[in-house]
Structure 1
Amino acid sequence: PAAGGERFIVSAGSFIWQDWYDVGREAKIGGIKVPVGTPGAGKTFPYLTTLNSEKAKTVLKIEFRDKLATLRDTVEDFQARGW
């Protein structure tokens, strides 16, 4: 009922691809090549937009996963499919 007619941002937050490259190297998952890019660049990047998903967390009771867990699960699934 509380979600009826509402719009929600469903995102854990803003990111640039360098954030994912850094996490990929940190994860040390076998079988994948991770671009190097400019390590750490995401920590000081001035985002042009920011995402606030507090309403989704509160109303929908969503708990977002961190990048490391998301990457590990995604790669594991892709490898299981032979991709």
Structure 2
Amino acid sequence: MSRWGQFFTVRRLVGSLLRPVGRALVQAGAMWVIVPSVDPGPVRGADPPPSHPERLRPDVPLTEAERALQEQLQDLDRLLPGDQL
């Protein structure tokens, strides 16, 4: 066998032995990666922030359509128990 043939044979042997070791190291390192926490978003039932376009004005009364919607939505917690919203 020529010198180049021996070189490629040894290279293939070393590569086939080290490839699984490299994959195992990647998997072991993946266990220690810090996953950032997800922002839960706004708290359910909290008021919108100041100057938000959907913030209610206490000095303006609700319209008839808004009052009808408010009455329909009052039973929502009873109909959907838990945090299904």
Same topology, TM > 0.5: no
Higher helix share: 2
Q: TM-score, normalised on structure 2?
A: 0.25
Q: TM-score, normalised on structure 1?
A: 0.26
Q: Give the number of the structure with larger relative contact order, counting CA–CA contacts within 8 Å between residues 6 or more apart.
A: 1
Which of the pair has more CA radius of gyration? 2
